[in-house]
Amino acid sequence: MATSRSEDVEPSISDLTIRRIIQTAVNFAVVGEVDGATKLLETLTTRGIDPFQYSDFEYLFLKPCMFFAWEATSSWPSWVPEEERTEEKLQELELEGRKHWLERFSQEWDVTEEIAQKALDMAYNGLTTNLPDYNGTLAGQVIQAEVMTANGDFSYSASPNGPMAIRYMKKAMWWRQGIFPYPFVQLYRTSGLMIALDIYLRLDKEEEAQELFKKVCDRFHTEEQIEQLVCSRAAWKQILAVPERPLLDFLNIHAAKLRPAVSRACQMAESRLQAGPRRRYAGQTIEKLVHIISENTFKNCPYDRLDAYRPRGNLRARPQSSNGLIRRRCYVAGIRALEDRLGVTLPEDYKEFLSITNGLDSMWDGQNLVDYLAGAQEVNWQELDFLEGNELPLLNDGEPLAWTKNILEWPKMEKPRCICLSGDINHQEKAGHFFLVGQDLLHPAKDYFFKTYEQRDEAQRRELDRLVQETYGSMEDFRNLEWGLVSWTAWEFTVYPYNRLRDFLEQMAEASLRQERPWLNMFEPRFRRTTNTDDAFIVPKTFHISTKHIKDQDISFKLDLYDNLAKKTRLDPAIMCTKVQRKYSCRKCYLLLKDEWEEIPCAKAREKGGAMGACGNPALIDRKEIETICDECFKKQKKKRGF
């Protein structure tokens, strides 16, 4: 629980806070409140935070948005240097902004109607929502996407395997697996529409541009539609910054309501930056927090929307009342029996939780229903082999940011073993994992942090102090941490640390307030759909990916990436680009897709080693080929791993 803080202590300013302020500024600018967007950014600049330095790495749309807006409205703020406003600089920025569209377009950029038509064809006939499934592995879906791209099945779309910016990696995986494909598909449609709109504006095709702009406005809730629109310098000059502000009419927004909204946003930003984060449920008892989470889930979880992602006839059971998530409490004898079985003394707040409710049913976290807190009878030690070789971040994953030169390279976990408060990690009816991390993993991570802390300069230490305060309340609480508490999901690929169970419950109570909105990613992550199945089906528990080891801003999502990921996780590389030097493999496996996949180029050859096929059928292979496995091998491998 966060400790109290005196007024003169500098508040924690998380990267998430900066990002939210920047995103809100972009939204204000696009609806014509450029002055309001500037004032919002000045809440950062007055504190020595350069929003453009942050956006150059984390939110690349801010600079083209504001520079083009200031140019179009002749309202440059004094804190933007004159040398940054030159035509040469703006043309460079225009080129950079265009890359967000062209990254997904296979054709060369040219201001012609032919290119505009090809871009529109990509928008409407590009990526399909669902891919055919081979055998449920992510590596297989990579090959599937590459072949369909080569065959022209995605119109003029660039390969969905990349190269692409790392921020799209998660959504690309959702699409390949058929878990939640819509954001990634929307990116391609957004790019196609923006390429065509920008070209029509440059060609003075007013009628075509007007029609396209209406379509863009209808899609403002879709993935990056606003962000990519603000990267068009032509759109700012001819549409967004004109006095009539046609965008407000298209969106049915009254201009008089915008100014109060800007004032409220600036006040909220100032309050957050001056006083630190506001925790709505701070100080509540564990019993009260449990009831709040149950009530918020009952009221706010969009069960109908989530059921659309589940198989027919397998709809989710819903709570019948606001206390529907709460179970009969666990008695003292049951808690002692759990400690005896685990061989540890559990944290006091967790034992208090069990004495109130023996676990919680599926909780609404604002995006998914998660099963983080199982009953005492299900809690057990688990070998987390799918996280082996990954880092255990005790601060928010990804902080400090790489560009700050204060990044932390946490120790990698070797044979990680934790108490799983969410129960069996292979349970097919549950989503999400919640781990109690012992000193065997916690001590090396804390030891690394404090040794690194001593080596950093004063400014870097101040930043680390803020981040520790953000998560644990104080450096002293962090130093005395006896148990680590982290959540992890197979679809987010991110470790989230918490300061004791009370902190987790506070955050869950706040997250469960989120209501359904069309622009929010809300879905059932345990089920996937493909074009060759009639209904949704369960995602194999082998779909565990971590991307902490990827540091680059832009990476190529070719087969070499998935080859690397497969080594780090439980993902079985059933279809992988390989070079088989050992000369032996399962011929039955090899022949399955040999004719179909033989022409796929090898992105990065991998040494396979000496293991034979699971069905024991060797065959001579002496060329660089595509290898798969037969159904028999696949079943045996699954059985061997306990699925």
- Read off the pLDDT of residues 471-499 as tens digits, 9 standing for 90 and up: 898 999 999 999 999 999 888 878 899 99
Separation between Cα atoms, residue 10 and residue 450, nearest integer Å: 21
Q: Which of 511, 530, 563 is the last residue of a domain?
A: 511
Which pLDDT belongs to residue 446? 96
Q: Which of 273, 304, 330 is the last residue of a domain?
A: 273
Tell me, what amino acid is at 146? E
pLDDT tens column, 494-503: 889 999 999 9
* Alpha-carbon dihedral angle through residues 266, 271, 272, 278, given to the nearest 10 degrees: -130
Note whether 364 and 425 are same-domain residues: yes
Note whether 460 and 570 are same-domain residues: no
Q: Is residue 290 part of a domain?
A: yes
Average pLDDT of the segment spanning 269-279: 83
Note whether 268 and 326 are same-domain residues: no
Confidence tier at 535 by pLDDT (50, 70, 90): low
Average pLDDT of the segment spanning 66-86: 96
Which pLDDT belongs to residue 598? 31
Which pLDDT belongs to residue 257? 86
Which pLDDT belongs to residue 265? 94
Average pLDDT of the segment spanning 509-523: 90
Confidence check: pLDDT of 525 > 80:
yes
Separation between Cα atoms, residue 39 and residue 262, nearest integer Å: 9
Confidence check: pLDDT of 543 > 60:
no
- Phi-psi region at 207: left, alpha or beta (left = phi > 0; alpha = psi -120 to 50): alpha
Q: Is residue 82 part of a domain?
A: yes
pLDDT tens column, 299-320: 999 999 998 888 888 888 899 9
Separation between Cα atoms, residue 465 and residue 107, nearest integer Å: 48
Q: Is residue 404 part of a domain?
A: yes
Note whether 465 and 572 are same-domain residues: no
Tell me the DSSP string of 402-454. GGGT----PPBPSS-EEEETT--TT-TT---EEEEE-HHHHHHHHHHHHHHHH
Looking at the chain, the whole-number percentage of residues with pLDDT higher than 90 is 54
Note whether 471 and 610 are same-domain residues: no
Closest CA to 65 of 82, 40, 47: 40
Note whether 257 and 290 are same-domain residues: no
Average pLDDT of the segment spanning 108-136: 91
Which pLDDT belongs to residue 241? 93
Average pLDDT of the segment spanning 84-113: 95
Average pLDDT, the chain: 81
Closest CA to 20 of 46, 70, 58, 69: 58
Give the least confident one: 8-12, 185-189, 278-282, 577-581. 577-581
Given a contact cutoff of 8 angstroms between Cβ atoms, the answer to whether 431 and 544 are in contact is no
3-state secondary structure of 297: helix
Given a contact cutoff of 8 angstroms between Cβ atoms, the answer to whether 606 and 577 are in contact is yes
Confidence check: pLDDT of 264 > 70:
yes
Q: Which of 240, 273, 306 is the last residue of a domain?
A: 273
pLDDT tens column, 566-617: 333 333 333 332 322 222 233 333 333 333 333 222 222 223 333 333 333 3
Note whether 58 and 115 are same-domain residues: yes
Which pLDDT belongs to residue 639? 52
Closest CA to 606 of 569, 575, 640, 637: 575
Helix-strand-coil split of the chain, %, nearest 5: 45, 10, 45
Note whether 501 and 441 are same-domain residues: yes
Instruction: Give me the domain span that covers residue 451.
Output: 286-511
Give the least confident one: 139-148, 508-517, 536-545, 569-578. 569-578
Given a contact cutoff of 8 angstroms between Cβ atoms, the answer to whether 518 and 221 are in contact is yes
Helix axes 348-356, 332-342, angle to 10 degrees: 130
Which pLDDT belongs to residue 467? 87
Average pLDDT of the segment spanning 194-215: 96
Which pLDDT belongs to residue 377? 96
Q: Is residue 88 part of a domain?
A: yes
Confidence tier at 635 by pLDDT (50, 70, 90): low
Which pLDDT belongs to residue 133? 80
Note whether 424 and 344 are same-domain residues: yes
Max Cα–Cα distance, the chain, nearest Å:
78
Which pLDDT belongs to residue 567? 34
Q: Is residue 116 part of a domain?
A: yes
Rounded to 5 degrees, what are φ and ψ at 149?
A: -65, -45
Note whether 255 and 337 are same-domain residues: no
Separation between Cα atoms, residue 99 and residue 64, nearest integer Å: 12
Question: Which of 28-37, 130-139, 634-643 has the largest mean confidence?
Answer: 28-37
Looking at per-residue pLDDT, the higher value among 461 and 278 belongs to: 461
Question: Which of 40-54, 120-134, 337-351, 406-420 has the largest mean confidence?
Answer: 337-351
Which pLDDT belongs to residue 205? 96
Q: Is residue 476 part of a domain?
A: yes
Confidence tier at 561 by pLDDT (50, 70, 90): very low
Note whether 618 and 492 are same-domain residues: no
Give the least confident one: 152-166, 216-230, 362-376, 531-545. 531-545
Which pLDDT belongs to residue 167? 83
Looking at per-residue pLDDT, the higher value among 104 and 630 belongs to: 104
Given a contact cutoff of 8 angstroms between Cβ atoms, the answer to whether 548 and 389 are in contact is no
Q: Is residue 150 part of a domain?
A: no
Note whether 269 and 296 are same-domain residues: no
Which pLDDT belongs to residue 565? 35
Which pLDDT belongs to residue 311? 86
| Number of domains within the chain | 3
Closest CA to 635 of 568, 589, 583, 603: 589
Q: Is residue 165 part of a domain?
A: no
Give the least confident one: 5-19, 118-132, 194-208, 342-356. 5-19
Confidence check: pLDDT of 61 > 90:
yes
Which pLDDT belongs to residue 77? 97
Average pLDDT of the segment spanning 209-233: 93
